[in-house]
C-alpha cells in the first residue's frame, strides 16, 4: 500500500460558511425523508392490522428501518448548529 502525502488544510471563515450552507440543503432533505417514511410507516402499519397482509408488514418494517437510519444521521450538534445559524440570521 502506498500512502499519499498528508497535507494540512486551513479553512477560512467563508469556506466554513459555504460548507454549512451546503450541509443545510442535505439536512432539510434528511428531515423530509424521516417525516415521509414515518408517515408511510404508520399508514402501512394501520392497513396491516386491518388486512393482515405479510407484504404490508415487510414494507412497514423496511420503512421503519429507513426512518431509524435517517434519525441516526441527525445529531443534536447538527440540529443546534442550524438553529444557532437561523437565530443569528434573524438578528
* Per-residue pLDDT reduced to its tens digit, 37-54: 999 999 999 999 999 999
46 falls within a domain: yes
Q: How many domains does the chain have?
A: 1
Domain that holds residue 75: 27-86
Predicted pLDDT at 62: 92
Examine residue 11 and state whether it is found in any structural domain, yes or no.
Answer: no
The answer to whether residue 12 is domain-embedded is no
**Mean pLDDT score, 55-61:** 92
Q: pLDDT (tens digit, 9 = 90+) per residue, 11-24?
A: 888 888 888 888 88
Burial of 19 per CB tally in 10 Å (0-12, 13-18, 19+): exposed
Check whether 77 has a pLDDT greater than 70.
yes
Q: Please indicate, yes or no, if residue 55 is contained in any of the structural domains.
A: yes
HSE, side-chain direction, 13 A CA sphere, residue 43: 6
80, part of any domain: yes
Residue 73 resides in a domain: yes
Model confidence, pTM: 0.69
In a domain, 79, yes or no: yes
Please answer whether residues 41 and 64 qualify as being in contact, where contact means their C-beta atoms are separated by less than 8 angstroms.
Answer: yes
Amino acid at each position: 500500500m502506498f500512502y499519499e502525502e498528508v497535507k494540512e488544510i486551513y479553512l477560512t471563515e467563508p469556506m466554513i460558511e459555504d460548507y454549512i450552507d451546503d450541509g443545510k440543503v442535505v439536512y432539510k432533505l434528511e428531515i423530509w425523508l424521516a417525516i415521509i417514511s414515518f408517515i408511510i410507516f404508520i399508514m402501512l402499519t394501520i392497513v396491516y392490522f386491518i388486512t393482515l397482509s405479510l407484504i404490508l408488514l415487510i414494507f412497514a418494517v423496511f420503512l421503519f428501518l429507513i426512518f431509524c437510519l435517517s434519525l441516526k444521521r441527525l445529531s443534536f450538534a447538527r440540529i443546534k448548529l442550524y438553529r444557532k445559524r437561523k437565530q443569528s440570521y434573524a438578528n
